[in-house]
């Protein structure tokens, strides 16, 4: 059995996926109010709304799900750079836990939203809505962690997500 080589950085595809997903998530968080109203209207009338914002929110959510699955498959096949050994172990543990949680939310939020929208399941709608209150601080912690690694711990973690690995 051959030992897999751990990459030193990310590919251009991984970087583009990271920032595209990030931008789409910020967009979703900014335009979610219209879909909430459309969901209520749909529940009351049983008719699909003609609200373009709701349709756009659903389409972007499904795009986030698809891109996240692609990103996760690439990460599982190619691997990811190791955590910096110079960091305190607690910093690396928190960073790893945050990544696992982010992947969970990037998959879970679109799924709960789609289940709520297409089945009308209120529990799924509630989970989707409550997930936002965890996702927003999680994203903030992720960004602050990247900045702390760059400016406090002086690692290249942030640079690795801005510049593709040279082979």
Domain count, the chain: 1
Tell whether 4 is covered by a domain.
no
Tell whether 74 is covered by a domain.
yes
pLDDT of 82 strictly over 80: yes
Tell whether 66 is covered by a domain.
yes
Tell whether 5 is covered by a domain.
no
pLDDT of 96 strictly over 90: yes
Tell whether 121 is covered by a domain.
yes
| CA-to-CA dists, residue 13 to 74, 83, 130, angstroms | 9, 20, 31
SS3 call for 31: coil
pTM, whole model, 2 decimals? 0.91
Q: How many CB atoms lie within 10 A of CB 97?
A: 12
Question: What tens digit of pLDDT does each residue of 97-121 get?
Answer: 999 999 999 999 999 999 999 998 9
Query: Average of pLDDT values for 9-19?
Result: 97
Tell whether 24 is covered by a domain.
yes
Tell whether 166 is covered by a domain.
no
Q: How many CB atoms lie within 10 A of CB 18?
A: 15
- The residue range of the domain holding 87 is 12-160
Tell whether 7 is covered by a domain.
no
| CA-to-CA dists, residue 102 to 4, 45, 78, 95, 152, angstroms | 25, 35, 19, 10, 23
Q: Which of 135, 161, 147, 104 is nearest to 28 (CA)?
A: 135
């Amino acid at each position: 059995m051959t030992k897999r080589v751990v990459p030193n950085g990310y590919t251009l595809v991984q970087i583009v996926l990271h920032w595209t997903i990030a931008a789409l998530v910020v967009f979703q968080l900014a335009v979610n109010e219209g879909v909430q109203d459309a969901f209520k209207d749909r529940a009351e009338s049983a008719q699909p709304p003609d609200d373009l914002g709701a349709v756009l929110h659903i389409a972007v959510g499904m795009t986030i799900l698809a891109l996240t699955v692609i990103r996760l498959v690439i990460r599982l096949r190619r691997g990811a750079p190791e955590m910096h050994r110079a960091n305190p172990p607690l910093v690396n543990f928190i960073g790893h836990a945050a990544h696992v949680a982010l992947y969970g939310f990037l998959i879970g939020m679109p799924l709960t939203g789609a289940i709520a929208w297409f089945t009308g399941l209120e529990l799924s709608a509630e989970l989707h809505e409550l997930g936002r209150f965890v996702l927003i601080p999680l994203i903030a912690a992720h960004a602050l962690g990247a900045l702390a690694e760059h400016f406090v711990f002086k690692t290249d973690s942030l640079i690795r997500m801005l510049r593709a690995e040279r082979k």
